[in-house]
């Protein structure tokens, strides 16, 4: 929450959702939020304190029930979660199409989880993508459609170099991990 409210940058997937909610309400998180939207900041802080108190009460009163729910087998728990999710998707607009969308995105999420694809970058891209696109269009308008003008800004060149370095280092690390796994697999076969 601190990076979100002070800099306007989400620190994780939960705060990325909050960033999306703020943007949908026309509030831009960041340093100016404390000047232009101070009542909203106070409401957010009050809501966070109230949520913590509510979680304390619910946690203390429901710890035995939650322990029993967690001990249920997955084959019993998953169908219950699925039915509640689909019922919730249907009840919003009373539309079967919403249930289909829920199922499709559930399958996509399951596949992403199965193949260990991180969800946070997608959520951040969905929330920050339109803002990035608007700023890119603004940059292109200011420079007459000349993308090469980005080379006139040292900070942009610095970010580009850092981005390329991060990609190269991650590829080299992945290559090293693959070699280590292959060597361990070969040793296990001998």
Q: Taking residues 52-66, what's their average pLDDT?
A: 91
Q: Which long-range contacts (CB under 8 A, 24 or more apart) does 128-134 make?
A: 128/16, 128/19, 131/23
Could you read off the pLDDT of 123-173 as tens digits, one per residue?
A: 777 777 888 888 889 988 988 888 888 888 899 889 989 999 999 999 999
Domain boundaries, the chain: 153-190
Could you read off the pLDDT of 173-182 as tens digits, one per residue?
A: 988 988 888 8
- Both tokens of residue 73? 């087998």
pLDDT number for residue 143? 87
Q: What is the SS3 assignment for 1? A: coil
pLDDT number for residue 182? 84
Q: Is the pTM here over 0.85, yes or no?
A: no
Could you read off the pLDDT of 77-110 as tens digits, one per residue?
A: 889 989 999 999 999 889 899 999 999 989 988 8
pLDDT number for residue 189? 64
Angle between helices 13-24 and 120-142 (to 10 degrees): 50
């Amino acid at each position: 929450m601190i990076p979100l409210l002070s800099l306007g940058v989400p620190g994780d997937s939960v705060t990325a959702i909050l960033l999306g909610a703020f943007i949908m309400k026309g509030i831009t998180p960041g340093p100016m939020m404390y000047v232009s939207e101070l009542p909203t900041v106070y409401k957010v802080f009050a809501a966070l304190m109230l949520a913590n108190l509510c979680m304390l009460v619910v946690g203390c009163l429901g710890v035995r029930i939650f322990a029993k729910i967690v001990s249920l087998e997955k084959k019993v728990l998953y169908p219950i979660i699925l039915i509640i999710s689909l019922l919730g998707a249907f009840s919003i607009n009373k539309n079967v199409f919403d249930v289909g969308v829920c199922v499709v995105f559930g399958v996509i999420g399951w596949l992403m989880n199965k193949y260990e694809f991180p969800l946070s970058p997608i959520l951040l891209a969905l929330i920050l993508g339109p803002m990035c696109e608007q700023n890119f269009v603004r940059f292109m308008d200011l420079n007459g459609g000349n993308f090469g003008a980005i080379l006139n800004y040292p900070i942009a060149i610095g970010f580009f170099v850092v981005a390329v370095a991060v990609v190269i280092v991650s590829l080299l690390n992945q290559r090293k991990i693959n070699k280590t796994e292959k060597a361990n697999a070969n040793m296990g076969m001998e």
